[in-house]
Amino acid sequence: MDLFLQAVPIFLLVFCRITSFFVVAPIFSTRGVPAMAKIGLGFFVSLMVFLAMGQEQMPALNAEYLLVVIREILIGLLLGFVAYLFFTIVQTAGSFIDLQMGFGMANVIDPMTGVSTPMLGNFKFILLILIFLSMNGHHYLLMAIMQSYEWIPLGNELYAKISQGNISTFLVETFAYTFMLSLQMSAPLVVAMFLTDVGLGFLARTAPQFNVFVIGIPLKILVGFLILAMLMPGMVALFGQIFEQMFRAMEQLLHLISADSGGTT
């Protein structure tokens, strides 16, 4: 019974961090994954981490234990949110492209997230997930959350890092960086649509008998699909760069939280 009472508080802390990570992390947080599967996967991963970590980091069972539980939940949410930010790049880029091609009002419901998403953004998001799964990216996400205990032990100083403003600064910079990447991804099609609008403007001035509103919309859609088809072969390499930046950002977050908190860097 004494061994059980010593093991349950530690296992609960491990379970809180890993389960909160699955709630936000890409692939695992989608609506297609049942809630029981998320809880079961979190339980078994937590069990493996607990057996590997042991009972060396015994927390104090007092009123401060509740704050420790909240701290572990925040760590899991932070790691999952940083990973999810890089998956929203393709959806943001798709919304920029749809706005220029005329698909801005033809949004569809994404079955994976349950929200309304742009058509091309949803197409690129599905392609991103397929490439991520083919590269065993979900295995690397599991390795990241399991190895986070080497960087951030249970006795970490997350609240001190939050009070210093380091975490919020990192999140704002990461959000700005992902938004810049989405602009860069949509730039070829957006520029092509802008040049098409310029050409249609010159056509309207030189040949007023042409109805630009009638020929402009199908022309922009045709040009957009042609350029998208030309860019498709390079999507795999581009998505690979996004995944690399995602894991690098997660490593930076781990290093930022683990600095001077007893974790190995």
Every domain of the chain and the residues it spans = 2-258
Look at residue 61 and give its three-state secondary structure: coil
- For residue 149, the model assigns a pLDDT of 85
DSSP string covering 105-134, please?
T--EE-TTT-SEE-HHHHHHHHHHHHHHHH
Distance CA(50)–CA(21), nearest Å, equals 16
Residue found under tokens 């609008």: 197
Residue 250 token pair: 């997660």
CB 110 within 8 A of CB 102: no
- For residue 259, the model assigns a pLDDT of 64
Longest CA–CA span in the chain (Å) reads: 90
Distance CA(132)–CA(138), nearest Å, equals 7
- pLDDT < 50 stretches in the chain: 261-265
- For residue 262, the model assigns a pLDDT of 44
- For residue 249, the model assigns a pLDDT of 92
| 117: number of Cβ within 10 Å | 22
> Rounded to two decimals, what is the model's pTM?
0.81
Q: CA dist 89 to 18, 66, 180, 185, Å?
A: 24, 35, 9, 8
- For residue 124, the model assigns a pLDDT of 82
- For residue 171, the model assigns a pLDDT of 92
Q: Which DSSP symbol is given to 155?
A: S
- For residue 55, the model assigns a pLDDT of 60
CB 12 within 8 A of CB 46: no
At 85-130, the pLDDT tens digits run 998 888 888 888 887 777 766 665 655 556 666 677 778 888 888 8
Distance CA(224)–CA(230), nearest Å, equals 10
Q: Which amino acid is located at 225 in the chain?
A: F
Residue found under tokens 């005329």: 102
Q: Which DSSP symbol is given to 60?
A: P
Residues linked to residue 108 through DSSP beta bridges, in sequence order: 117
| 215: number of Cβ within 10 Å | 12
